[in-house]
Amino acid sequence: MRDGSYNQANDASVAQAISASGLSIYDPLDTRPELYIASDLLEELLDDGLRGLNLDFPLRTRAKVVKQSVCDVLGYPVPPRFERTQPRFLGQNFDVYVQKADNLQIWNEEVSASRRYVLVRVDAAYVVTCVRVILGDALAAWDRTGTLTHKYQAKSAEDITSSVLVSSNDTRNVTDRLIGGSDRSRPAGSSRTPRPETFVPISTVHACLLSLIGTTVVDPGLDQERNRGGALHQMVCSCVCGESLADSGQFPDIPEQLIEVKLQTASTIDLGLVCPDSTDSLPEMPQFQHQDVRYAVFYGTAMGGEVRLDHVVLSTGEAFFTFFRRFAGLVPILFT
């Protein structure tokens, strides 16, 4: 849910602020996160601004017109020519695709988990009917074409016999922005970004998580991993944040604290489409990178309908592979 401080008037002011900044679509916003538009607001602005637009042009002209229109809606100057950057809208971290049918085709590159995809739906006359914004990791999960994609996996080099704090300190970026209290801006429209006044340092997070060891979560079965993880998510939220926070289904699990939660009853850890130590920016928070995320890996024992939490390993993404062993290369996953 969007923060109450952002209303329709402020939605319009985002484009005005971008226009006043003088920045182009290629300029990074890691130092200006207040100009980075959260995905739900981006979808709303583009849906309102592009709906009804006529895109009945040859393919190349259509691509140019829709990008020019996106610039106009968001307050960016239209560049003399659109550069072949990846993604095309580099500062806001998204690509645009005009879709007449459901079969999205992305040419010459794999889906990026760190990118946003703006899908512009047109009718038979090539008039825009709606716009949707989706993150790359969610888009990859929809692939039913048999396309080869990849995900990363890891495991502990040795058996886990006790809880471990791998990183005694957060990354330098997190420390400078949040522990030092210098980062007091958030992406436009976002309410779920870390704030210096409520952010919990990694050493304190570890102390909180230790209180969960020995407790149990309901185990709905091996084919219900998301539900099992959801129960642990609420326990971690209550422990670290002092309140229950909704699971958005996006990365990281608890964006307010940059925490990704894993529950392991086996040794192999599925890490998704991005390596923990990646320096790619988070899709919804360009001021933070994947390596800034704190990974809380719980190891548990299945006990007839429940999982007992035995140990927890806590690490920044940056230090993740100083403790865990990276599987060689990428593990191919074929969607069917």
Query: pLDDT digit string (tens) for 104-153?
Result: 666 556 678 788 999 999 999 999 999 999 888 777 665 555 454 567 88
In this structure, the answer to whether residues 135 and 178 fall within a common structural domain is no
Residue written as tokens 């009945």? 56
Residue written as tokens 């040419």? 107
Does the residue 2 lie in any domain? Answer: no
Instruction: Please tell me whether residue 46 adopts helix, strand or coil conformation.
Output: helix
Instruction: Please tell me whether residue 239 adopts helix, strand or coil conformation.
Output: helix
Residue written as tokens 């300029």? 27
Query: pLDDT digit string (tens) for 214-272?
Result: 999 887 655 455 556 778 988 999 999 877 676 767 789 999 999 999 999 888 898 87
In this structure, the answer to whether residues 129 and 185 fall within a common structural domain is no
- Residue 186's pLDDT band (boundaries 50, 70, 90)? confident
Compute the average pLDDT of residues 69-77: 97
Compute the average pLDDT of residues 265-291: 89
In this structure, the answer to whether residues 265 and 315 fall within a common structural domain is yes
Does the residue 1 lie in any domain? Answer: no
Q: What per-residue confidence (pLDDT) applies to 180?
A: 74
In this structure, the answer to whether residues 189 and 320 fall within a common structural domain is yes
Give the domain extent around 330: 152-334
Contact 35, 18 (CB under 8 A): yes
Q: What per-residue confidence (pLDDT) applies to 39?
A: 92
Calculate the dihedral angle through the C-alpha atoms of 119, 122, 128, 133, rounding to the nearest 10 degrees: -10
> Is the entire prediction scored with pTM above 0.85?
no
* Residue that is last in its domain, among 81, 115, 142: 142
Give the number of domains in the chain.
2
**Nearest CA-CA partner of 216 in 303, 314, 295, 297:** 303
In this structure, the answer to whether residues 160 and 196 fall within a common structural domain is yes
- Residue 332's pLDDT band (boundaries 50, 70, 90)? very low
In this structure, the answer to whether residues 312 and 174 fall within a common structural domain is yes
Query: pLDDT digit string (tens) for 304-321?
Result: 888 999 999 999 999 999
Does the residue 232 lie in any domain? Answer: yes
Residues in a beta bridge with 308: 216, 301
Per the prediction, the chain carries an average pLDDT of 85
* Residue that is last in its domain, among 142, 162, 189: 142
